[in-house]
Amino acid sequence: MLFEGKRGLITGAASGIGRATAIKFAAEGAQLTIGDRNLAGLEETAAMMAIKPVIQAYDATDFDTCRALVESSARDGLDFVCNIAGLLKWGPSDAFSAQDFDLLMTVNATSVYVICQAAMPHLIKSRGAIVNTASTAALQGQPYNIAYSASKHAVAAITKGLAIEYAAQGVRINAICPGLVLTPMTRDTPPPEGVDWALMMRNAPKLLDGACEPEDIAEMFAFLASAKSRKATGALFTIDGGQMAG
């Protein structure tokens, strides 16, 4: 099994991609701590996992809770961290508030940095790995989605910069750039009324049934958190049904 004897932290595990990743990693033998602000969702996820995880609620806007999550996950050693928690909010830019812009930056980017920072001493010991969640929104401008896109560009920068800083100490840091994934995030947060769909659909999936399922993304998390990707660091891995191909 891919993660036999390995310990890791997965955030955002109450739903969507984080849930699918927690289920996949437990099936591959991982001993996990799963974190999210949605405790009931974490409990549902735990019930679907082959190996019982440690469950810990945290709020990505409260950095002390981010650090506490890392410390409890590392109590017996830490081999990998998957930063998957995230927030989407669309809106035409003439009306999108600075407060919402800040909130998306805090949840999607600053908390990821804080978690990486807290995990690093443990990952240096284990020569471990971090897998962050960027997006195709990290690779292009997206109309009506400026704050989210800015926060995911920041995740890409955090990933590449930390990878260079910690490469010599044996820690690998990569990020995944999913395209459209069918999860509660995309189901519950449709684009605002009145958007220009010609602009929105410049980068539609090209494959037949091109939208990804959470399980498709979980496969890539497993590759990047395991030794199978031992020569990959500082890289962004796109999985998007051909959205970014043109």
**148 among known catalytic residues:** yes
The tokens of 19 are what? Answer: 């849930």
Which element (helix H / strand E) includes 236?
strand 236-239
Secondary structure class of 181 (helix, strand, coil): strand
Q: Which two tokens stand for residue 127?
A: 């020569």
Nearest to ligand NAD of 34, 129 (CB atom): 34
219 binds ligand NAD (CB under 6 A): no
Are the CB atoms for 183 and 214 separated by under 8 Å? yes
Work out whether 183 is an interface residue with ligand NAD (CB under 6 A): yes
Q: Give the whole-angstrom CA distance, residue 31 versus residue 46.
A: 12
Q: Which is nearer to ligand NAD, 6 or 37 (CB)?
A: 37
CA–CA separation, 83 vs 1, rounded Å?
Answer: 22
Annotated catalytic residue, options 58, 144, 148, 166:
148
Binding track, positions 125-154, relative to ligand NAD; x by CB under 6 A: --------x-x-------------------
- Under the binding rule (CB under 6 A), the answer on residue 72 touching ligand NAD is no
Query: Which residues contact residue 46 at a Cβ distance below 8 angstroms, ignoring those fewer than 6 apart?
Result: 34, 52, 53, 55
229 SS3 class: helix
Q: Do 99 and 195 meet the contact criterion of CB atoms below 8 Å apart?
A: no
Residue 170 or 191: the one with the smaller Cβ distance to ligand NAD is 191
Query: Residues 33-62 vs ligand NAD: string with x where CB under 6 A?
Result: ---xxx--x----------------xxxx-
Choices 23-31, 72-80, 121-129, 174-182; region in contact with ligand NAD by CB under 6 A: 174-182
**Cα–Cα dist 149/133, whole Å:** 12
Binding-site member from 68, 105, 185, 235 for ligand NAD (CB under 6 A): 185
**Catalytic residue numbers?**
148
Which residue ranges make up the site for ligand NAD (CB under 6 A)? 12, 14-18, 36-38, 41, 58-61, 84-88, 107, 133, 135, 178, 180-181, 183-186
